[in-house]
Structure 1
Amino acid sequence: MTIQVTKLSDPAVRAFVSAVNAHDRDAFQAVLAPDATMSDDGSDRDLADWTEREIFSSHGHMEVDRESNDGHSLTAHYCNDAWGEMKTKWSFTVDDSGRISRFETGQA
């Protein structure tokens, strides 16, 4: 059973998932800290390049199955035009200003 995006506990994570699913680059950038970083399957990636390829140009979409760690960890079905659908895990670090300073994703 999926969790509705509006029911996600952490406001920054909720905004992140909403922006991904809406393909809203401006909202996505707004939720990230200026020096945000990310990793995919344990390897640091270039944030702008990765998000363009894996989210925006490939129509990425997240369906959240579970959250933990006060809403900073998610298990989700993620699909995009490049890879199809896969079960993924997401971990978010939210800074003191309420923006995401780092996220890590990979297959679950």
Structure 2
Amino acid sequence: MKKTTYLISLLMFISFFNTCGQIGNHEHKEVESMNLNSIKNNIVKQAFEAWQQGDSKLWFSFFTNDAQLYDDGKLRDFNNFSTNAIGEEWFTSLDKVENEGLSIYRKIHTKKWGDFKTYFKFYINDKEKIYRLEIGQADY
């Protein structure tokens, strides 16, 4: 009886382990392995690095207190979005940079939605703070 219970428990654990995406065997491309030289705007580059590192305190330091976020053209709560996304989402590639480094196109991995292409467009004021961020799914 004990062998049967042990075997069932072991099979359940293995099944759970495989269903949950092989915990511990997840590849995550770190920002250090990406070539960031194409990002000419230093503020955007540092914000990108903060996002990749999951450092929300550093991320927020690059933005105005009333920063606006537009997600596929719809106004969203910037603070709520950032708090929920940082550490749960990361970029797996840097594919295209435009507008002197203010518009970045890349692939993203999210724990909730999987992998897809996205854009981040940054708007910086004269005090070198980001006051608007536009994000969305990209088709490039």
Shorter-chain TM band = 0.7 to 0.9
Amino acid at match of 2:120: W
Partner amino acid, structure 2, of 1:87? K
Question: Are residues 1:96 and 2:126 paired?
Answer: yes
Separation of aligned partners in 1, 2:106 and 2:133: 14
Read off the aligned partner of 1:47 and give its amino acid letter: F
Q: Does 1:5 align with 2:49?
A: no
**Count of residues in Structure 1 that have an aligned counterpart in Structure 2:** 105
Paired with 1:66 and 1:43, the residues of 2 have a C-alpha distance of: 23
Deviations 1:16-43 (A, max 9, x none): 1101100001110111112211111111
For residues 27-46 of structure 1, the aligned pairs below 5 Å read 27-46=58-77
**Secondary structure in 1 matching 2:109:** strand
Structure number with higher helix proportion: 2
Looking at structure 1, the residues matched to 38 and 54 of structure 2 have their Cα atoms a distance apart, in angstroms, of 19
Structure 1 residues not aligned, in runs of 5+: none
Q: Radius of gyration: which is bigger? A: 2
Q: Map 1:77-92 onto structure 2 (within 5 A).
A: 77-92=107-122
Q: Please, what TM-score do these two structures have when normalized by structure 2?
A: 0.69
Between the aligned partners of 1:4 and 1:101, the Cα distance in structure 2 is: 26
Residues 96 and 106 of structure 2 are in contact (CA less than 8 Å); yes or no, is this contact kept in structure 1?
yes
Quote the Cα distance in structure 2 between the aligned partners of 1:5 and 1:16. Answer: 12
Residue 76 of structure 1 pairs with residue 96 of structure 2: no
Matched, 1:64 2:67: no
Name the one with the larger strand percent: 1
Runs of 5+ consecutive residues of structure 2 not aligned to the other structure:
1-32
Higher relative contact order (CA 8 A, sep 6+): 1
Asked if the contact 2:120/2:135 (under 8 Å) is kept, the reply is yes
Q: CA RMSD in A?
A: 1.7
Shift of 1:69: 0.5
